[in-house]
Chain A
Amino acid sequence: MPTTLAPRTTLAPDLDVDVDLNAAASAAIDSPWVTLVWNDPVNLMSYVSWVFRSYFGFSRAEADRRMLQVHHDGKTVVATGSREEMERHVEAMHDFGLWATLTKADA
């Protein structure tokens, strides 16, 4: 799993797939920011899944799916919305010790 991270320009292909799941809940169409969680070799899979459930309210199946996506693909989108919202999510992820960033969805 890469800890050397891909440049932002390479993120776009995944976003098309992932963004829509949360879009309905938290984002208007014109809210072009996403919160990404990146794979790291330290955090336990059980912990990452728990963070996704306890903070984002994902079901266990959804949390596990995204956790495995982080593990296998190196990252996953966990939220979509305004920049301010995404900054709050990223700060919360850092509070949990997860490796999270935000970026423009179309970056």
Chain B
Amino acid sequence: MKAFSRAGDGHVTTTLAPDEAALLSELAGQIADMLAPIARKEQGADATGGGDPDSAALRGDDSPDDSSDGLPDGPAGALGGATYRRTRTSALDRLLPDAYRGDEEAAAEFRRFTAGDLSERKIRNAAIVMADLSDAPNSPGPVDVTLDPDSVQAWLRSLTDIRLVVASRLGIDSDDGWNEDSDDENELMHGELYDWLGWIQDSLLSAFEDRA
């Protein structure tokens, strides 16, 4: 993948390998899938409960879908699967964090009124990423992607959401980052994925702000 560059009129552009585009699209789709149960809940219904929706992937429970995709570093399960290190914050808590500290009642109330809307917006952002990458499956070679300013906004947010969830799986809860000394190849692979996503986001932001 090339770094993003400015393309005029606030647009930015890059070129991805087909499997990179497929991976990004898949990850965005997983974010949307995670949040769908919350977005579906009617406002006013109990949309909280500390991350109880039927989202095993979110909480890092074992998900048996690791064979559903042919990619070597396949996105399947990239956001699910077991966590490598325990953290005190679940992926869902990172996507929809408490708005009040030390006041569970107020936090639950805030969540009840905002979690549905926030989830819908995050799902919409993910859908924009997937739409921008929709040509990838049919592409015989590198995939050119040009994003308008609205898409950039969606991409920056969705990349953040994806990184938050990958970080949660990697057990990143300090500025030390992920465990680069791990013997677990999957953990190393996810660590590299995490770094790659950060690189993409920084590249996108640089181009968007014309600092590139």
A87 vs B101: C-alpha distance when bound (angstroms): 13
Report A76-107 residues with CB < 8 Å from chain B CB.
Answer: 87, 90-91, 94-97, 99-103
Residues of B within 8 A of A40 (CB): 94
B-to-A contact residues, CB < 8 Å: 87-89, 94-102, 110, 114, 117-118, 121-122, 156-157, 160-161, 163-164, 167, 172-177, 198, 201-202, 205-206, 209
Between A and B, 24 residue pairs with Cβ closer than 8 Å are A3-B88, A3-B173, A4-B88, A41-B172, A41-B173, A41-B176, A42-B172, A44-B201, A47-B205, A90-B99, A91-B99, A94-B96, A94-B99, A95-B118, A96-B157, A96-B160, A97-B94, A97-B157, A97-B161, A101-B98, A101-B99, A101-B100, A102-B100, A103-B100
Residues of B within 8 A of A87 (CB): 99, 110
A87 vs B112: C-alpha distance when bound (angstroms): 13
A50 touches B205 (CB 8 A): yes
With contacts A1-B174, A47-B205, A94-B118 known, is A42 near B167, CB below 8 A?
A: yes
A99 vs B95: C-alpha distance when bound (angstroms): 9
With contacts A3-B88, A3-B174, A87-B110 known, is A46 near B99, CB below 8 A?
A: no
Q: Interface digits, A1-21 against B, CB 8 Å rule (1 contact, 0 not)?
A: 101110110000000000000
With contacts A4-B88, A102-B100 known, is A95 near B177, CB below 8 A?
A: no
B164 touches A95 (CB 8 A): no
Q: Interface digits, A36-56 against B, CB 8 Å rule (1 contact, 0 not)?
A: 000011111011001000000
A5 touches B101 (CB 8 A): yes
A90 vs B111: C-alpha distance when bound (angstroms): 11
Residues of A within 8 A of B122 (CB): 95
